[in-house]
Structure 1
Amino acid sequence: MAEVLKQAPQEDLKMTEKSDASTRSVDESSTTLVEDPQLDRKLLWKRDLVLIPIMGILYMLMFLDRTNIANARSLGIGKPNGLEESLNMPSNGYNVALSIFYIPFVLAEVPANILMTLNKVRPGIFLGGQAFLLGVLGMCQGLTRSYGGLLAVRFLMGIFEASLPAGATYMISMYYTKREASVRFAWFFNFALAGPLFSGLLAYAIVNLEGTGGYEGWRWIFIIEGLMTCFIAIFVICLCPNFPQQAQSWFLRDHERERLVRKLEASRGQEDKGSAVDNIPMWKVLSDWRIHLFTMCFFCCDITASSVAAFAPTILTELGWVSTTAQLFTMPIWAAGIVASFSITWLAARVNCRTPFLLFCICMQLVGWIIMRVYVPAAGVRYLALFFMSMGTFPQMPILMAWLSANLRGRKYLAVGMAWMTGFGNCANFISSNVFIITERPYYPTGFSNGLAFTVVGFALVCTGFAVLRMKNKKREALRAQMTEEERERDEEVYFKFVY
């Protein structure tokens, strides 16, 4: 790793070029860029208009197929032909159905992302093909006639969905500089939030399909959304670009591709020029403290996200609204998360600072969980608590993703780091799926207490991350001050500056 180019993301391009010329043993002809703002803006627009919608819609479909079971359950509450009644599910059956999806999802995420970095299969085919299979399995959820069949289908869905979120975030990391990536991660995650937002509207509309074709209304949620996933996956296969170095000519012309690759090298280092799988030992990547610290932060955040996704429709139904109305009332919650996610992430990128915004969001989470835990009698107040939870949770996810990406160097670190965070961070779903115990409704003391506790832990972890990164930077600055010019040129480690 000592040969890797380092660059703090807050430095502008001009400073990057000066730093390259004075401190890095890299051929100037391969890194020096002539200023061309017009071309840079054109490249940015091309990436934003092609890559982000494709990756975002892919993630939206994934999130939609993952969370629509909550809408299907809510639609059938109190009905003899609801999801749980039709499949003769046990009292904890819904919780098990949520959990079983994440077993293969977590285990397959890192291997799938490493396989993608080998670049043996075009990203469009790799990601779009799995999305198509995911859509087929999503339809099977609506066609199954037994509880065991539902569990088997959801297990298979976890396998084919494993590489989608990590692969999409890896593609964004590969196509954007460190500073550009922050806002793009926000757009990416907002696409995901749009999935359950429209799922609530779709579930409300599907209620009129009750009995159509001999199927209950909840089955049509899975069938229609699965068909939609298959249809869009075909466009992903055809339109998803390759990695920057092999980008198709319809997307980037030769001079555009060359300039983009040089900009990415200047931002992330020369590692991006080489093999997709570099010579860094895997054990060194997997034992990196940065990956695990940020993953734990993501884990604590995802406790709230997965709780809102899986149980918001159920909680709203228990607040007194009928199941169909509850579907509509979930939409403002997701919309508030989208607005907060983009606004706060954009502001964090603008000032190039993350920690204060993360702590502010966690405080909003805490307000929501406290209201739920003390169980304020007024239904409107508890509905407001869901807004606090949504607006506090969803901005954290893109900020944490961009924070980790900005502090990693090299393709293998990025591929494993992104997959590890989204994979093991999503282990939060194992907890949130099993702490909302049906016999404890509507108070759910176990579920609300766990959510509150993990939010407090998340606050402490973010503070710890900030303190450790700042301490590391100070140590490197002190080390650099004691080195001779020749030693500095040989040991570029002191030039890598952590961002916080």
Structure 2
Amino acid sequence: MSEKNTAEETTKSSYEHELSEQNVVPRYITKLDFRLIPVLGVTYTILFLDRTNIANARIEGLEDGLNMPANGFNTSLWIFFIPFVLIEIPSNMIMALPRVKPNIFLGINMIILGIISTCQGLTHTYGGLLALRFLMGIFEATLPAGAAFLIGEYYTRREASLRFALFFTFGVLGPAISGLLAFAIRNMNGIQGKEGWRWIFIIEGILTIFISFFVFLFVPDFPEKTKILSPAEKEHLLEKLHSDKGDQKLDIRSVNWVKVLSDYKIWFPTLMFFCCDMTAASMSSFIPTILTELGWKAARAQVMSIPIWLTGIVFQLFGSWVSGRVGWRFPFVLLGITIVLVGWIIQMVYSERKGLAAGIRYFSLYCMSGGTFLQMAMATAWMTNNLRGRASTAVGTAIILGLGNCANFVATNVFIKAEAPFYPTGFRTGLGLTIAGAMFCLIFVALLWWHNQKLDSKRREVGGEDDQKEYKYQY
């Protein structure tokens, strides 16, 4: 070893010892957790609020209030996702530009989203609702993808799993909060001459505007520009990220976009996310039916939907904590798929039965929620664990949360209102896509294993020297 390398190692060792003595490492990671996860997580909560509050409004009379056609509700769901899917990749590319500050970019989009969301409660026509849903898709697309992108930039591969689980937990809170808010807001029916379903949109839109100010104040810049850490903390963070992920290309303007967009390490997790999101998107279609079959009226139905989503939180957090400890992702994805399969099979077997069938179907919703949200956190963490460079992370997080959410197009069209409450088309599609998710997971593991075997063989040939341009992928 050269004298220069020896000196560098000595300096690094003493520097890390100094940080350890000052207890800097755990302190600044905790600081990052509290600064990043809550405020960015809320942006994902907003996505799920906007996705589920229209279902709550439906229970309270949205369709009759706007004289919607038979397929009008489904149309109002899928029209949102057209711009949502198209905007996410260019949105993250804009956010990654050197002069763009994440807090300004995300904050402005969130204010506009809140205004549009509020206007849903003020429109008096079905066409007006469709136009507002389309505009919401544009501005909402920037939030979850941008938030996941920023989180992926701050944490090592070992740390990312639990942080993404915490981030997605805020998403699961969306439906739970939506049901609780809808239960409370429905009592505002008649205030200012407006129906209760209108107040659901108005109050939650105003809430979005309020939260946007916290985005402006608390969302930090990217790690190399951050001002929320001390110089010693920032230097240690950048060194740790470099050691874990290697050289990161920070300037996206000189990137081979064909290589980035064709990376299988992005597309297989996206396909897995798509398959599991089919379940999450489908649940909002038949939860009201199951709750009605149990004899619960609108008020109680709003409340009884909450524990279903809370189950997803428990599975997600516990699974991701264990995953971070053992350093594996795919066993947890397969576990989530197995649990969801139980839910889909129950739906298919018991949908046409009477008596206790409704209670058993209600239990299946807990299986579907727990297994689905466990997969979402794992798939996203698994993807970012195996990507290098800001461009890849920006595109990857945009694709997985954009195209992965295309399952909503499928869900809104296979759950046909005329087939309620049995939904044979929807249940068979959901079951088939869940099985497909298992196949994508196994193929992805095989490809990663093949890469690692080739890399091990190559390193043995050159005497075990580490190539900084290549690294082993995580399972």
Distance, in Å, in 2 between the alignment partners of 1:145 and 1:227 is: 19
2:254 pairs with 1:279: yes
Give the SS at the match of 1:427.
Answer: helix
Q: Is the 8 A contact 2:289 2:421 kept in 1?
A: no
Query: Residue 331 of structure 1 corresponds to which residue in structure 2?
Result: 306
Letter in 2 for 1:291: I
> Alignment RMSD, CA only?
1.8
TM-score (norm 2): 0.94
Letter in 2 for 1:411: R
Structure with larger RCO (C-alpha < 8 A, sep 6+) = 1
Q: Is the 8 A contact 2:290 2:361 kept in 1?
A: no
Q: Is the 8 A contact 1:196 1:309 kept in 2?
A: no
| Per-residue CA distance 1:103-122 (angstroms, 9 max, x = gap) | 00000100000100003221
* Counterpart pick for 1:424 among 403, 406, 409: 403
* Counterpart pick for 1:446 among 425, 443, 447: 425
Give the SS at the match of 1:426.
Answer: helix
C-alpha change, 1:318 and 1:133, in structure 2 (3 Å) is: farther
* Counterpart pick for 1:66 among 27, 33, 51: 51
Query: Residue 125 of structure 2 corresponds to which residue in structure 1?
Result: 146
Letter in 2 for 1:45: T
Query: Residue 186 of structure 2 corresponds to which residue in structure 1?
Result: 207
Q: Is the 8 A contact 2:285 2:415 kept in 1?
A: no
* Counterpart pick for 2:207 among 199, 224, 228: 228
2:37 pairs with 1:55: no
C-alpha change, 1:30 and 1:167, in structure 2 (3 Å) is: farther
Q: Following TM superposition, by how much is the alpha carbon of 1:278 offset from its aligned partner in structure 2, in angstroms?
A: 5.5
Distance, in Å, in 2 between the alignment partners of 1:319 and 1:445 is: 20
Query: Residue 437 of structure 2 corresponds to which residue in structure 1?
Result: 458
Deviates more, 1:295-304 or 1:310-319: 310-319
| Deviation beyond 3 Å, 4+ runs, structure 1 | 27-33
Q: Percent identity?
A: 50
2:98 pairs with 1:113: no
| Per-residue CA distance 1:70-89 (angstroms, 9 max, x = gap) | 111122xxxxxx11111111
Letter in 2 for 1:236: V
Q: Following TM superposition, by how much is the alpha carbon of 1:186 offset from its aligned partner in structure 2, in angstroms?
A: 0.5
Deviates more, 1:401-410 or 1:202-211: 202-211
Provide structure 1 residue ranges, at least 5 long, that are not aligned to the other structure: 1-20, 76-81
Distance, in Å, in 1 between the alignment partners of 2:9 and 2:63 is: 65
Distance, in Å, in 2 between the alignment partners of 1:475 and 1:270 is: 21
Query: Residue 136 of structure 1 corresponds to which residue in structure 2?
Result: 115
* Counterpart pick for 1:253 among 201, 215, 230: 230
Count of paired positions: 462
Q: Following TM superposition, by how much is the alpha carbon of 1:202 offset from its aligned partner in structure 2, in angstroms?
A: 1.0
Q: Following TM superposition, by how much is the alpha carbon of 1:283 offset from its aligned partner in structure 2, in angstroms?
A: 0.8
Query: Residue 276 of structure 2 corresponds to which residue in structure 1?
Result: 301
Distance, in Å, in 2 between the alignment partners of 1:141 and 1:327 is: 20
Q: Is the 8 A contact 2:186 2:200 kept in 1?
A: no
Q: Following TM superposition, by how much is the alpha carbon of 1:254 offset from its aligned partner in structure 2, in angstroms?
A: 2.0
2:460 pairs with 1:475: no
Letter in 2 for 1:64: L
2:101 pairs with 1:122: yes
Correspondence list, 1:148-167, <5 A: 148-167=127-146
TM-score (norm 1): 0.89
Q: Is the 8 A contact 2:293 2:358 kept in 1?
A: no
Q: Is the 8 A contact 1:31 1:262 kept in 2?
A: no
* Counterpart pick for 2:379 among 372, 375, 400: 400
Distance, in Å, in 1 between the alignment partners of 2:343 and 2:33 is: 34
Q: Is the 8 A contact 1:71 1:313 kept in 2?
A: no
Letter in 2 for 1:69: I
Distance, in Å, in 1 between the alignment partners of 2:262 and 2:394 is: 14
2:325 pairs with 1:350: yes
Letter in 2 for 1:258: E
Q: Is the 8 A contact 2:347 2:364 kept in 1?
A: yes
Distance, in Å, in 1 between the alignment partners of 2:451 and 2:253 is: 25
Letter in 2 for 1:261: L
Distance, in Å, in 2 between the alignment partners of 1:110 and 1:30 is: 41
Q: Is the 8 A contact 1:70 1:311 kept in 2?
A: no
Q: Is the 8 A contact 1:333 1:390 kept in 2?
A: yes
Deviates more, 1:204-213 or 1:181-190: 204-213
Distance, in Å, in 1 between the alignment partners of 2:146 and 2:468 is: 30
Letter in 2 for 1:343: F
Q: Following TM superposition, by how much is the alpha carbon of 1:484 offset from its aligned partner in structure 2, in angstroms?
A: 5.1
* Counterpart pick for 1:93 among 72, 75, 93: 72
Distance, in Å, in 2 between the alignment partners of 1:202 and 1:313 is: 16
Q: Is the 8 A contact 2:115 2:206 kept in 1?
A: yes
Q: Is the 8 A contact 1:142 1:223 kept in 2?
A: yes
2:34 pairs with 1:34: no
Distance, in Å, in 1 between the alignment partners of 2:463 and 2:254 is: 29
Provide structure 2 residue ranges, at least 5 long, that are not aligned to the other structure: none
Q: Following TM superposition, by how much is the alpha carbon of 1:302 offset from its aligned partner in structure 2, in angstroms?
A: 0.6
Letter in 1 for 2:144: P
Distance, in Å, in 1 between the alignment partners of 2:11 and 2:221 is: 21
Distance, in Å, in 1 between the alignment partners of 2:188 and 2:110 is: 26
Distance, in Å, in 1 between the alignment partners of 2:12 and 2:265 is: 28
